[in-house]
Amino acid sequence: MTLPTSELATASSVCDLTVVGGTGDLALRKLLPALYQSERRGNLAPGTRVIGGSRHDLDDAGYRAMVREAVHTHVPAHELDETVIERLLDRVRHVVVDADSPEGWDELHGVLKQAESDDVVRVFYLAVAPRLFGPICQRLDDIGVVEPTSRVVLEKPLGTDLASARRINDAVGQVFDEPQIFRIDHYLGKESVQNLLVTRFANTFLEPLWNSRWIDHVQITAAETLGVGERSGYYDTSGALRDMVQNHLLQLLCLVAMEPPTYVGRETVRDEKLKVLQALKPMSPEDVDRDTVRGSYAAGVVDGAEVPAYADELGRPSQTETFVALRAEVQNWRWAGVPFYLRTGKRMDRRTSEIVVVFKAPPHAMFPGSEGATEPNRLHIRVQPDEGMHLHMTVKEPGPGGIRLRPATLDLSYATAFDAVSPEAYERLLLDVLKGNPTLFMRRDEVEAAWAWVEPVLQRWSSLDERPDEYPAGSSGPAAAEALLERDGRTWQETDR
């Protein structure tokens, strides 16, 4: 098939990557280690520079020392190579800039002017709070460093509701055109999430079954054992619905539910995901009361250690949810009547992100007098940890005599099937930014459609003025989350360890 030229892969351009928020947690924990890995694999074009921008009074040497420490802390020891670190540090500069003040931005201008050629693509990664996205874009525009080839990368959360997301998008859109804007949802950079597309569309056996005729329901879980820790300031203004469901979980839902695009390209996948978001059944207040569950972790034991309640970590009572379970429906021909149950929580009993597609039971019992029961097939798509796919089937237990039905699993574990370690999501996504490939980034319309769907839930919850149900840290969430499925005659399919 001949692709439009706009879809053809581009090589990694020579870039000046300016990370505003260059001394922040995201930059030090994720971005700089990801750049180290790209350097190690030879994926950074010669001449590419990394310019950290922060309010800290650091010179280049001071920032390089910080980068070195970040790489040592966050890259596994067996992957550390001092010559690679030196190569990365050679690219690194620092400028003192403050989004709230005009000072320092001229220095950034000066550094960018020193680029080795006019072809160098300027990428601005805004690893800062979203309220600063608009003001920073304006400063970049004021100092005249935004060119038609420039790109801006925005971290989630993009706003706290539809109106604030629109304001941010409008402000950024004053300076950058939509194709220049890369909105990160790091779940889309995960290996198994991309494999979901390949599994669905590069094989034939699933597609005829991938609909309401054969699928009973879908479960999507993202459970964490970590609490909110030092992020409680941010988290308490957000909560699990904004932090995880509006973005990561809805993106997974889209990839499960979307129609096959003509080809997997920059706009085609995003077009199809948008259609799914637009087909989500809007929630009335009654739907919210019936189909959503909020939880907040109480003290408990996680991985053998006692941990405090969310409110104690925060230092005050809170109505913010650290757990959400909900039932969604995609109102279209393929999915009519198939519930999508989503759930996410902090301080759960295990760390796992998984999609489980539960098929319908066979229409007719064919083995009268057999021992054991036929169980509905389940396809588990494990996003993390232990990425892979597992198909639960009913088989005959070997041996003479009568037929004994037993459950068994077809296992595809990436670690065993491929002798390669999956790159971190940020490494892949940063390279895509440097190559100018937006396929795995969220478009404005997608982000806004996702906010439009979650907003009635937020509104209803805030109007109720109630505390979320408590669940003990180290558990699978509040009892109401179990009841949400039991009411429909279903149960959460726990991940096999």
In the complex, least distance from residue 423 CB atom to ligand BG6, rounded to whole angstroms: 13
Is 186 labelled as part of a ligand binding site? Answer: yes
216 vs 243, beta carbon nearer ligand BG6? 243
Say if CB 150 and CB 122 are below 8 A apart: yes
By the rule CB under 6 A, 224 interacts with ligand BG6: yes
Say if CB 294 and CB 344 are below 8 A apart: no
318/296 Cα distance (integer angstroms):
9
Per DSSP, the three-state class of 95 is strand
CA 347 to chain centroid, in Å, comes to 18
DSSP letters along 372-430, please? Answer: S-PPPPEEEEEEESS-EEEEEEEEEPSSSSS-BEEEEEEEEEHHHH-SSPPPPHHHHHH
By the rule CB under 6 A, 191 interacts with ligand BG6: no
The dihedral through the CA atoms of 29, 30, 33, 35 has a sign that is: negative
Is 59 labelled as part of a ligand binding site? Answer: no
Count interface residues toward ligand BG6 (CB under 6 A): 3
Is 243 labelled as part of a ligand binding site? Answer: yes
Catalytically annotated residues: 248
Is 156 labelled as part of a ligand binding site? Answer: yes
Within 352-391, the residues that bind ligand BG6 by CB under 6 A are: 353
Q: What dihedral angle (degrees, nearest 10) is formed by the CA atoms of 378, 488, 248, 205? A: 30
Per DSSP, the three-state class of 99 is coil
* Tokens 């003025």 belong to residue: 465
44 vs 223, beta carbon nearer ligand BG6? 223
Closest by CA to 191, choosing from 420, 378, 356, is 420
227 vs 339, beta carbon nearer ligand BG6? 227
15 vs 228, beta carbon nearer ligand BG6? 228
Is 190 labelled as part of a ligand binding site? Answer: yes
169 vs 192, beta carbon nearer ligand BG6? 192
129 vs 373, beta carbon nearer ligand BG6? 129
Say if CB 238 and CB 157 are below 8 A apart: yes
Burial (CB < 10 A; 0-12, 13-18, 19+), residue 249, is buried
Residue 251 tokens, joined: 């993106």
Angle, helix 82-91 to helix 60-74, in steps of 10 degrees: 140
Residues 6+ apart with CB under 8 A from 91: 44, 48, 49, 50
226/126 Cα distance (integer angstroms):
25
Residue nearest to ligand BG6 (CB): 243
In the complex, least distance from residue 468 CB atom to ligand BG6, rounded to whole angstroms: 16
353 vs 493, beta carbon nearer ligand BG6? 353
Alpha-carbon Rg for the chain in angstroms: 24
By the rule CB under 6 A, 155 interacts with ligand BG6: no
207: DSSP letter = G
76 vs 148, beta carbon nearer ligand BG6? 76
In the complex, least distance from residue 224 CB atom to ligand BG6, rounded to whole angstroms: 5
In the complex, least distance from residue 125 CB atom to ligand BG6, rounded to whole angstroms: 16
180: DSSP letter = G
Is 273 labelled as part of a ligand binding site? Answer: no
In the complex, least distance from residue 344 CB atom to ligand BG6, rounded to whole angstroms: 9
Per DSSP, the three-state class of 182 is strand
Candidate residues 39, 216, 236, 243; the one interacting with ligand BG6 per rule CB under 6 A: 243
453/435 Cα distance (integer angstroms):
32
Interface map 310-339 toward ligand BG6 (x if CB under 6 A):
------------------------------
The dihedral through the CA atoms of 301, 307, 310, 311 has a sign that is: positive
Known binding residues: 55, 156, 186, 190, 224, 243, 346
Q: Interface residues with ligand BG6 (CB under 6 A)? A: 224, 243, 353
Known binding residues for substrate: 186, 190, 224, 243, 346
Known binding residues for NADP(+): 55, 156
